C-alpha cells in the first residue's frame, strides 16, 4: 500500500473535446482505478488549460467574453469526465485565481530567487496553435503543418527561463530512469533533443499583447507564458503555494504524468528544468501515449476529422468506449478509429464475448443447479482441467508445472493474474486487456471441450465441477475488467453474488440476476 499521484494533461478549452481527449482521460482512469484496487491511495488529477492566446482567439471568434467562454467550455470537459465515468479526485483550471495562481506565482518566485529568470528580447515566430515559439525549419510552405496557419512574427521584451543551465542534469535523470520515460523509444527521442542542447525559454509575454493569464510576480506589465502557467497545475492542485498544502506534502512527486507524444518536450525538458531550479523533486515517470487517428491522420479540430465522444457514449455506453480504448488502441503507438472498427469491437468483444459467456454460464447454473454452486473439493476441481494446452500455459517449459496449470483456478491465479499485473505496472493496458480476452477464449474453449449442457444428463456431478470452474473464470474476468469497465464488472460480480468490495475467497456462487450486459446495436 502506497500513494499514487497520476495526472492527465490539462486540456485547452478552445474547442470541444474529441476522442483524443477522451482517450487520455480513459487511459489515466484505467491506471488510477487499477492502483486503487491494488490498495494504493490515489490522487488523480485532471483539468483545463484556460489562458493564452489560443483561448482568447476562440472566445473572440465566438463573440463572447473570455471568462464566460472558458467557463462554459470547461463545463463540457467536466461533463466528459463524468460521462466517461472518470474517477478523478480533483479538477483544476488555470483561471482559478484562488487555487491555481498562488502556487504558479510561488514557483516563478522560487525560480527567480535561484537567478534563473532574466529579461531579454525575443525575436521569432510564434504559433498560437502550439502556444509556442517555432522555427523556420518547423514550417511547410510558410505554415505550421500541425495547425495549418502562418505563425506570428514577434519581437518583444520577455522574461526568459535559464533552461540551458539544467540540460545536463535533466539528461542524466532521464538516462538513469530517475525520471523514467515510457516507452523507451520516447526516452531516446527526448535524449536526442536534449543532447543537441537546450536553449533558454521565453517565459512571459507583454501584458499589453496578452493580458489573459497570470501576472508575473512583481511586474504586471508581463503575463506568464501559458506553458509555464499550465505545467504548474500539477503542483497547485495539491495545494502548493497555499496554506492547505497537505496533499502537496503527501503526494508530490507525481508517480506518472500521462501525456500525448506531441507535448513530450514540455514535460520532459522544460518541466524538469523548472522543478530542478525551484529545488523540487521531479516526477517519477512520464507515460507518453500515441495518438488517435482518423483517416490515417491525428484526430484534431484543425484537420477537421474529429469524432464526438458524447455521441458514441450515448449510442454504445461509456463502458464500450472505455474497453475500445483499453483493448484496441495500443498505448505506445498511434491507433486508428473508425466507426466500423468500433462497432465490430463492441459486437465481438462485448456482446458476443464477455456478455455471451457470462449469460451462458449463469443460465446453465440456474437451469441445472437451481442457481447455486457450492465450492467442490480441490481434488475434484483439478480433475477437470483444460483438455488442451492453453495459449498461456504453452509458454511454460516444465511438463509437471504445465499439467498443474491446466486446472482453471490454478491457471488463473498463477499464470493469468501475474501476467496481467506486469502489463498493468508497465502501463501497457492494451496488453492487459489482451490477456483478459485470451482468458475468455480459453474459457469458451473449455465449454466446447466438455459440453456441460450435454454432460449434465449423463454425469451431473462432473458438470457441477465444470460449471464451478466456469463461474470462477467469469468472476476472475470481472475483477480483471474492473479498471476498464467498472459497471460491467460490478454487474458480473452481482450476477454471481460476489461482493465487489472485498476479494475474499469464494465459497459459493449464487445466481442473482442474469440480464444481458450489453445492448446489441
For residue 319, give the nearest of 362, 285, 295, 351 by alpha carbon: 351
Q: How many residues bind ligand MSP (CB under 6 A)?
A: 21
Residue with cell 523533486: 281
Q: Does position 201 bind ligand MSP by CB under 6 A?
A: no
Reduced to 3 states, what is the DSSP secondary structure of residue 192?
Answer: helix
Q: Does position 463 bind ligand MSP by CB under 6 A?
A: no
Q: Which three cell numbers stand for residue 513?
A: 440476476
Q: Does position 298 bind ligand MSP by CB under 6 A?
A: yes
Choice between 299 and 321, CB closer to ligand MSP: 299
Radius of gyration over every alpha carbon of the chain, rounded to an integer in angstroms: 26
- How do 219-224 and 215-216 pair as beta strands? antiparallel
Candidates 231, 235, 362, 456; binder of ligand MSP (CB under 6 A) is 231
Q: Does position 228 bind ligand MSP by CB under 6 A?
A: no
Candidates 4, 5, 6, 11; binder of ligand MSP (CB under 6 A) is 11
Q: Does position 321 bind ligand MSP by CB under 6 A?
A: no
- In whole angstroms, the minimum distance from the beta carbon of 99 to ligand MSP comes to 15
Between 43 and 82, how does the x/- string for binding to ligand MSP read (CB under 6 A)?
------x---------------------------------
Residue 175 φ/ψ region, left for φ over 0, alpha for ψ in the -120 to 50 degree band, beta for the rest: alpha
Candidates 117, 291, 467, 492; binder of ligand MSP (CB under 6 A) is 291
Task: Walk across the sheet containing 335-336 and list its strands.
Answer: 297-298, 292-294, 335-336
Q: Name which of residues 110 to 129 contact ligand MSP (CB under 6 A).
A: none
| Only segment of 185-193, 295-303, 474-482, 492-500 that touches ligand MSP (CB under 6 A) | 295-303
Q: Does position 376 bind ligand MSP by CB under 6 A?
A: no
Chain residue whose CB lies nearest ligand MSP: 260
User: Please, which residues bridge with residue 11 across strands?
Assistant: 48
Between 253 and 272, how does the x/- string for binding to ligand MSP read (CB under 6 A)?
------xx-xx---------
Q: Does position 230 bind ligand MSP by CB under 6 A?
A: yes
- In whole angstroms, the minimum distance from the beta carbon of 216 to ligand MSP comes to 19
Indicate the DSSP class of residue 204.
E
Distance CA 479, CA 409 (A): 14
> Do residues 27 and 72 lie in contact, with contact meaning Cβ atoms separated by under 8 Å?
no
Q: Does position 273 bind ligand MSP by CB under 6 A?
A: no
> Do residues 128 and 51 lie in contact, with contact meaning Cβ atoms separated by under 8 Å?
no
- In whole angstroms, the minimum distance from the beta carbon of 298 to ligand MSP comes to 5
Q: Which three cell numbers stand for residue 191?
A: 535524449
> Do residues 53 and 128 lie in contact, with contact meaning Cβ atoms separated by under 8 Å?
yes
> Do residues 85 and 321 lie in contact, with contact meaning Cβ atoms separated by under 8 Å?
no
Choice between 260 and 283, CB closer to ligand MSP: 260
Choice between 113 and 262, CB closer to ligand MSP: 262
Choice between 262 and 451, CB closer to ligand MSP: 262
Angle, in degrees to the nearest 10, between helices 356-369 and 486-495: 10
- In whole angstroms, the minimum distance from the beta carbon of 232 to ligand MSP comes to 8
Distance CA 217, CA 224 (A): 9
Distance CA 20, CA 2 (A): 30
Q: Residues interacting with ligand MSP, by CB under 6 A?
A: 9-12, 20-21, 23-24, 49, 230-231, 233, 259-260, 262-263, 291-292, 298-300
Amino acid at each position: 500500500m502506497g500513494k499514487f499521484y497520476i495526472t492527465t494533461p490539462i486540456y485547452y478549452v478552445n474547442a470541444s473535446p474529441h476522442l483524443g481527449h477522451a482517450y487520455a482521460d480513459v487511459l489515466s482512469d484505467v491506471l488510477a482505478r487499477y492502483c486503487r484496487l491494488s490498495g494504493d491511495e490515489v490522487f488523480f488529477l485532471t483539468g483545463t488549460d484556460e489562458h493564452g492566446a489560443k483561448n482568447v482567439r476562440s472566445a473572440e471568434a465566438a463573440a463572447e467574453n473570455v471568462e464566460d467562454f472558458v467557463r462554459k467550455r470547461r463545463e463540457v470537459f467536466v461533463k466528459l469526465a463524468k460521462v466517461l465515468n472518470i474517477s478523478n479526485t480533483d479538477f483544476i483550471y488555470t483561471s482559478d485565481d484562488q487555487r491555481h495562481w498562488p502556487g504558479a506565482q510561488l514557483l516563478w518566485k522560487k525560480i527567480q530567487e535561484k537567478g534563473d529568470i532574466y529579461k531579454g528580447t525575443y525575436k521569432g515566430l510564434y504559433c498560437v496553435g502550439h502556444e509556442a515559439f517555432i522555427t523556420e525549419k518547423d514550417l511547410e510552405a510558410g505554415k505550421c503543418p500541425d495547425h495549418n496557419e502562418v505563425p506570428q512574427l514577434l519581437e518583444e521584451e520577455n522574461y526568459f527561463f535559464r533552461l540551458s543551465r539544467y540540460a545536463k542534469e535533466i539528461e542524466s535523470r532521464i538516462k538513469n530512469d530517475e525520471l523514467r520515460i515510457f516507452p523507451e523509444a520516447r526516452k531516446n527521442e527526448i535524449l536526442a533533443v536534449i543532447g543537441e542542447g537546450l536553449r533558454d525559454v521565453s517565459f512571459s509575454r507583454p501584458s499589453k499583447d496578452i493580458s489573459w493569464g497570470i501576472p508575473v510576480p512583481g511586474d504586471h506589465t508581463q503575463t506568464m507564458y501559458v506553458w509555464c502557467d499550465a505545467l504548474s497545475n500539477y503542483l497547485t492542485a495539491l495545494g502548493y503555494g497555499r496554506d492547505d498544502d497537505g496533499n502537496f506534502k503527501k503526494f508530490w512527486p507525481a508517480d506518472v504524468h500521462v501525456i500525448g507524444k506531441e507535448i513530450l518536450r514540455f514535460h520532459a525538458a522544460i518541466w524538469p528544468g523548472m522543478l530542478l531550479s525551484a529545488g523540487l523533486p521531479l516526477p517519477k515517470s512520464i507515460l507518453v501515449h500515441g495518438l488517435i487517428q482518423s483517416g490515417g491522420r491525428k484526430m484534431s479540430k484543425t484537420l477537421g476529422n474529429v469524432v464526438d465522444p458524447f455521441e458514441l457514449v450515448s449510442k454504445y455506453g461509456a463502458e464500450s468506449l472505455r474497453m475500445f480504448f483499453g483493448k484496441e488502441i495500443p498505448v505506445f503507438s498511434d491507433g486508428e478509429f473508425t466507426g466500423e472498427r468500433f462497432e465490430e469491437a463492441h459486437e465481438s468483444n462485448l456482446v458476443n464475448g464477455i456478455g455471451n459467456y457470462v449469460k451462458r454460464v449463469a443460465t446453465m447454473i440456474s437451469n441445472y443447479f437451481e442457481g447455486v454452486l457450492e465450492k467442490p473439493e480441490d481434488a475434484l476441481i483439478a480433475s477437470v482441467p483444460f483438455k488442451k494446452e492453453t495459449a498461456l500455459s504453452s509458454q511454460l517449459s516444465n511438463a509437471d508445472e504445465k499439467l498443474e496449470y491446466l486446472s482453471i483456478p490454478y491457471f488463473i491465479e498463477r499464470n493469468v493474474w501475474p501476467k496481467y499485473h506486469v502489463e498493468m505496472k508497465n502501463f501497457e493496458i492494451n496488453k492487459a486487456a489482451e490477456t483478459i480476452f485470451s482468458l475468455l477464449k480459453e474459457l469458451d474453449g473449455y465449454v466446447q471441450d466438455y459440453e456441460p449442457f450435454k454432460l449434465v444428463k449423463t454425469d451431473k456431478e462432473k458438470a457441477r465441477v465444470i460449471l464451478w470452474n466456469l463461474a470462477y473464470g467469469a468472476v476472475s474476468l470481472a475483477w480483471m475488467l474492473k479498471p476498464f469497465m467498472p459497471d460491467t464488472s460490478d454487474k458480473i460480480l452481482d450476477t454471481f453474488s460476489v461482493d465487489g468490495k472485498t476479494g475474499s475467497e469464494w465459497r459459493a456462487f449464487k445466481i442473482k440476476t442474469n440480464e444481458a450486459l450489453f445492448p446489441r446495436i
